[in-house]
């Protein structure tokens, strides 16, 4: 099928795209909603502007629309963007990165039904630790772009989500409420490289903000560079 993909630039949306493409579907376009509300119920906010650079890295066109981020009303803006994708790229389905969130899945199902599109949720109910490990093994480079949970301090901001970090998140899940997958907003991510990227993202300038309980790793400048034959951890603090 020819699909549009809801795209935040984080691990779940990228891994969903990766899975449907491996299954033989074609992703015709990415759909990003830029929310003016940092507490949006539906949309990823930190470093959302880098989705355009990621789209360039994948060679997939992107539709990027803005919303005020008002609860439920923000769904109208999503519907408009998905309908635009349907008209411009003739998509017949939509892929999203929901794992356990019925709030998101039900609303996207409703929009897809109204537009006669098939909704794909390839990550639905996958075990978070296993899924994260599979991403790392597949060649995804994932960095933590925001944290907002007990046990996650400023030292996590900008950190690469490798196997060691995944084990630590899993242990936190056992002692306090931190979902290993981060779907509850405990942390946000940005993918700087993946098997889908023709080039990888290198961070040139960044800053960390921390208010004592939550924080953001804000990327101020980044660019695409050639991939190396061997992986180097130079895309976080350079």
Percent of the chain surpassing pLDDT 90: 74
Name the DSSP class of 228: P
∠ CA 7-12-15, rounded to 5°: 90
Domain boundaries, the chain: 2-120, 129-225
CATH superfamily assigned to domain 2-120: HUPs (3.40.50.620)
Which class in CATH covers the domain with range 129-225?
Answer: alpha beta
Residue 3's nearest CA partner among 25, 22, 24 is: 25
Q: Which residue has the higher pLDDT, 191 or 169?
A: 191
Residue 220's nearest CA partner among 67, 50, 95 is: 50
Question: Strand 141-147 to strand 187-193: parallel, antiparallel, or no bridges (unpaired)?
Answer: antiparallel
77 vs 53: CA distance, rounded Å: 22
pLDDT (average), residues 16-42: 89
Name the pLDDT band for 233 (thresholds 50, 70, 90): very low
> What's the chain's Rg over C-alpha atoms?
17
pLDDT tens across 60-74, in order? 999 999 888 677 788
The dihedral sign for the CA sequence 124, 29, 185, 207: positive
Per-residue pLDDT for 113 more than 50?
Answer: yes
Q: What average pLDDT does the structure give for the chain?
A: 90
Name the DSSP class of 102: H
Are the CB atoms for 201 and 180 separated by under 8 Å? no
């Amino acid at each position: 099928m020819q699909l549009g993909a809801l795209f935040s630039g984080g691990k779940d949306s990228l891994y969903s795209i990766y899975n449907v493409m491996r299954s033989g579907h074609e992703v015709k376009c990415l759909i990003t909603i830029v929310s003016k509300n940092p507490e949006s119920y539906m949309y990823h906010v930190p470093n959302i502007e880098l989705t355009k650079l990621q789209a360039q890295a994948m060679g997939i066109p992107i539709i990027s629309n803005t919303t005020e981020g008002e609860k439920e009303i923000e769904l109208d803006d999503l519907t408009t963007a998905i309908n635009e994708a349907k008209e411009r790229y003739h998509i017949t389905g939509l892929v999203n990165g929901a794992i356990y969130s019925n709030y998101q899945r039900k609303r996207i199902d409703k929009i897809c039904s109204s537009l006669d599109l098939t909704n794909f949720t390839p990550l639905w109910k996958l075990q978070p630790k296993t899924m994260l490990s599979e991403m790392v093994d597949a060649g995804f480079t994932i960095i933590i772009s925001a944290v907002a949970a007990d046990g996650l301090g400023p030292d996590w901001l900008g950190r690469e989500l490798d196997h060691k970090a995944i084990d630590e998140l899993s242990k936190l899940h056992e002692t306090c409420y931190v979902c290993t997958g981060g779907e509850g907003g405990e942390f946000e991510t940005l993918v700087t490289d993946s098997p889908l990227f023709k080039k990888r993202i290198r961070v040139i300038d960044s800053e960390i903000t921390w208010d004592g309980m939550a924080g953001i790793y804000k990327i101020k400048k980044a660019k695409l560079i050639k991939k190396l034959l061997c992986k180097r951890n130079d895309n976080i603090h350079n």
